[in-house]
Amino acid sequence: MVRTMGFKQAKADVLDALLNGRYQHETRKGAIDKNLLQTGAMSPVELSAVIGRCRGQHHSMSTHHQIPAITVHVLKRDEWYIKFYFIDPDTYFISVHQTEPEP
C-alpha cells in the first residue's frame, strides 16, 4: 500500500530499507539515468550516512507528479539531493545525486 508519513518516520523507514536491501530504483523512459545509488557510484552505507545527518529542515514533501496519492520525500543535505517514496513493502528511489555547491 502507498503510505504517507512525516520526516522522522520517513527517515527511519528509508534507513531501514537501505540496511535490509528492501528498495528499488525507479527507471524513467526504460533507461538508467543519474541515480548514483542505482549506478553504484554511491554505496548504501554512504547514502545512509548522509540521510543520518538529515534533520527536519533538510526534508520536504510533495505529491508524485503522476500519482497524487503517493507522497514523495526530498532530502537536501551537504549538496546531496535524495528523492524517494514508499510503496509497501519497498522504498523507491527516484534521485540520488549531488547538486551544485552554493556560491
Partner 1 sequence: MKLYKQGDKSKAVCETCKDVISTTFDYRTVPFSDGSGEVKNILVAVCDACDAVIATPPQSTPAIKNARETATKSIEVKLPAPYLEILDLAAYRIDAMASTSFRKSLLTYYIHLHYGLIKTDNMPKRSIVKSYPKKVPTKRLSLKVAPRLYDEFEYIMDATDLKTTGMIKEIVQEIEKDIVRPKKPKHLVELQRLAMVTTA
Signed CA dihedral, 61, 26, 28, 67: sign only: negative
Closest approach, Cβ 51 to partner 1, in A, equals 16
Residues from 73 through 102 that contact partner 1 (CB under 8 A): 87, 90, 92, 100
Contact between 8 and partner 1 by CB under 8 A: the answer reads no
State yes or no: cis peptide before 101, omega within 30 of 0. no
Which residue, 57 or 100, has its beta carbon nearer to partner 1? 100
CB under 8 A: which stretch of 7-15, 49-57, 65-73, 75-83 binds partner 1? 65-73
Residues from 27 through 56 that contact partner 1 (CB under 8 A): 27-34, 37-41, 44
Phi, psi angle pair for 72, to nearest 5°: -100, 130
Look at the block and give the residue holding cell 500500500: 1
Dmax (CA) of the chain: 42
Q: 49 CB contacts (<8 Å, ≥6 apart)?
A: none
Residues that bind partner 1 (CB under 8 A): 2, 20-34, 37-41, 44, 64, 66-67, 70, 87, 90, 92, 100, 103
